[in-house]
């Protein structure tokens, strides 16, 4: 299945790490460490192989991706030997990155995005294209009557108005071009009733939001432990220090608020109540793509005895995110191929703020994902659903 991955924010850290990683996997230069679709329970012949993936994308920045890859290598995010081993492959991806179209009317911007997507699909004779949003986090938009239903949105766009935030304009363009959509960011993306309607009309699936790669990943494992032992979490506070482009963008208060809200949601959903405390994000230029999260949890046990735990997480954000971007693109393309449309809540495992009403605890999300992949396998091959695979 020849599958296009169209990256919105194609010159950013997560996008370039995903591209270098996929090219290196295809060339057999690295192990698929961090790619969960390579675990025995999720490996599936229905998913497109790394050799079937073709990359393109949009970005507002002009930095060539090979320069970005070299900068990531210097920062220790990826091995420099991969950048020198893949010059032609990186040049081919560079040829497929387009500037973000500009026009006075948002409808014209969207039409130009659609044209970029369809010409990419035609040029490479792709079976399908997945649009993946890995661009800078946006502030939440003000409510607009055009967001509530598709007819209202189309009417507003026809007047020449700018109705949608950029992430939602990309989702609109993706659905219109018959592409599925993955939102790896906390931005609005497809989370508007008007766009849910469009996805159903065009019979395309979408998923999101906000990749779960660090502090929230640890929270989604620890919170069920407190819940299952009936320990009362009194406060849970965290500080996240990060640099890089994402860190600089999140220094902006509105984008910071969108991200912090997304990171705290797991606690209420998993514990059944919201403990005191909050999550802070601070920009530290010097640490680049390496994030430090420090969390303090206070809780009570039997007879109200007060206890506490702390953890510190030092993660390389892009190295944690990139394999998940590849997993999500392969899974979403297969969901599209097997006739699924609308929100894919089954992929909640990957997200801080997943679509749908699924569980927020990581083990439950994992079980849901395993069952989903078995179902995709069966649908793709026309066979009965295979039994679960033992992990190991």
Ligand X SMILES: NC(=O)c1ccc[n+]([C@@H]2O[C@H](COP(=O)([O-])OP(=O)(O)OC[C@H]3O[C@@H](n4cnc5c(N)ncnc54)[C@H](O)[C@@H]3O)[C@@H](O)[C@H]2O)c1
Cβ 269 vs Cβ 360: under 8 Å: yes
Identify residues 258-277 at the interface with ligand X (CB under 6 A): none
- Judged by CB, which is closer to ligand X: 61, or 152? 61
Asked whether position 55 contacts ligand X by CB under 6 A, the answer is no
Candidates 4, 9, 56, 275; binder of ligand X (CB under 6 A) is 9
Asked whether position 93 contacts ligand X by CB under 6 A, the answer is no
Strand locations in 325-379 (E)? 342-343
Asked whether position 279 contacts ligand X by CB under 6 A, the answer is no
104 burial type by CB count under 10 A (0-12 exposed, 13-18 middle, 19+ buried): exposed
- Give the SS3 label for residue 288: coil
Candidates 13, 44, 264, 365; binder of ligand X (CB under 6 A) is 13
Asked whether position 318 contacts ligand X by CB under 6 A, the answer is yes
Asked whether position 215 contacts ligand X by CB under 6 A, the answer is no
Piece of the chain touching ligand X by CB under 6 A; list 39-47, 57-65, 101-109, 196-204: 57-65
Tokens of 279: 């999550």
- Judged by CB, which is closer to ligand X: 183, or 377? 183
- Judged by CB, which is closer to ligand X: 214, or 343? 214
**Sole residue written with tokens 């190295």:** 319
> Residue 352 CB, nearest distance to ligand X (Å)?
7
Residue 346, CA atoms < 13 Å, CB-side half-sphere: 19
> Residue 368 CB, nearest distance to ligand X (Å)?
20
Question: In angstroms, rounded to a whole number, what is the distance separating the alpha carbons of residues 275 and 265?
Answer: 11
Cβ 88 vs Cβ 40: under 8 Å: no
Asked whether position 220 contacts ligand X by CB under 6 A, the answer is no
Cβ 169 vs Cβ 113: under 8 Å: yes
Asked whether position 321 contacts ligand X by CB under 6 A, the answer is yes
Asked whether position 59 contacts ligand X by CB under 6 A, the answer is yes
> Residue 216 CB, nearest distance to ligand X (Å)?
9
- Judged by CB, which is closer to ligand X: 211, or 359? 211
> Residue 60 CB, nearest distance to ligand X (Å)?
5
**Cis previous bond, 209, omega within 30:** yes
Q: What is the 3-state secondary structure (H, E, C) of 171-233?
A: HHHHHHCCCEEEECCCCCCCCCHHHHHHHHHHCCEEEECCECCCHHHHHHHHHHHHHHCCCEE
> Which residues contact residue 204 at a Cβ distance below 8 angstroms, ignoring those fewer than 6 apart?
174, 175, 178, 179, 180, 181, 336, 341
Task: List the one residue out of 187, 229, 221, 189 whose CA is nearest residue 206.
Answer: 189
Asked whether position 184 contacts ligand X by CB under 6 A, the answer is yes
Number of residues that bind ligand X (CB under 6 A): 29
Asked whether position 21 contacts ligand X by CB under 6 A, the answer is no
Candidates 205, 211, 323, 359; binder of ligand X (CB under 6 A) is 211
Candidates 31, 49, 51, 60; binder of ligand X (CB under 6 A) is 60
* Residues near ligand X (CB under 6 A): 8-9, 11-14, 58-61, 100, 134-137, 166, 184-185, 210-211, 213, 244-246, 249, 317-318, 320-321
């Amino acid at each position: 299945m020849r599958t296009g991955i169209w990256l919105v924010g194609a010159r950013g850290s997560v996008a370039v790490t995903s591209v270098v990683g996929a090219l290196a996997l295809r060339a057999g230069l690295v192990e698929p460490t961090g790619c969960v679709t390579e675990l025995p329970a999720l490996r599936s012949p229905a998913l497109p192989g790394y050799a079937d993936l073709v990359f393109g994308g949009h970005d507002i920045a002009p930095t060539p991706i090979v320069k970005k890859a070299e900068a990531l290598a210097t920062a220790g995010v990826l091995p420099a030997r991969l950048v020198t081993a893949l010059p032609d492959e990186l040049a081919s991806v560079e040829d497929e990155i387009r500037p973000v179209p500009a026009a006075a009317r948002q409808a014209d911007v969207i039409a130009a995005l659609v044209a970029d997507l369809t010409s990419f699909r035609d040029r490479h004779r792709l079976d399908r294209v997945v649009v993946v949003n890995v661009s800078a986090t946006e502030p939440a938009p003000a409510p607009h009557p055009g967001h509530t239903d598709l007819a209202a949105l189309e009417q507003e766009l026809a007047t020449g108005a700018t109705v949608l935030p950029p992430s939602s304009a990309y989702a609109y363009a993706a659905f219109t071009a018959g592409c599925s959509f993955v939102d790896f960011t906390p931005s609005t993306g497809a989370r508007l009733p008007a766009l849910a309607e469009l996805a159903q009309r065009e019979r395309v699936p979408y998923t999101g939001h906000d990749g779960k790669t660090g502090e929230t990943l640890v929270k989604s494992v620890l919170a069920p432990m407190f819940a299952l032992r009936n320990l009362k979490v009194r406060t849970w506070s965290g500080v996240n220090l990060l640099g890089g482009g994402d860190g600089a963008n999140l220094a902006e208060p509105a984008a910071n608020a969108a991200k912090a809200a997304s990171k705290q949601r797991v606690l209420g959903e998993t514990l059944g109540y919201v403990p005191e405390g909050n999550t802070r994000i601070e920009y530290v230029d010097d640490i680049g793509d390496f994030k430090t999260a420090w969390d303090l949890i206070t809780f009570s046990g039997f007879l109200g005895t007060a206890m506490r735990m702390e953890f510190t997480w030092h993660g390389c954000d892009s190295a944690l995110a990139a394999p998940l971007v590849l997993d999500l693109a392969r899974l979403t393309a297969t969901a599209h191929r097997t006739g699924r449309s609308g929100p894919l809540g089954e992929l909640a495992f990957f997200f801080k703020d997943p679509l749908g009403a699924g569980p927020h605890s990581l083990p439950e999300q994992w079980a849901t994902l395993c069952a989903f992949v078995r179902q995709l396998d069966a649908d793709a091959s026309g066979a009965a659903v295979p039994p679960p695979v033992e992990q190991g």
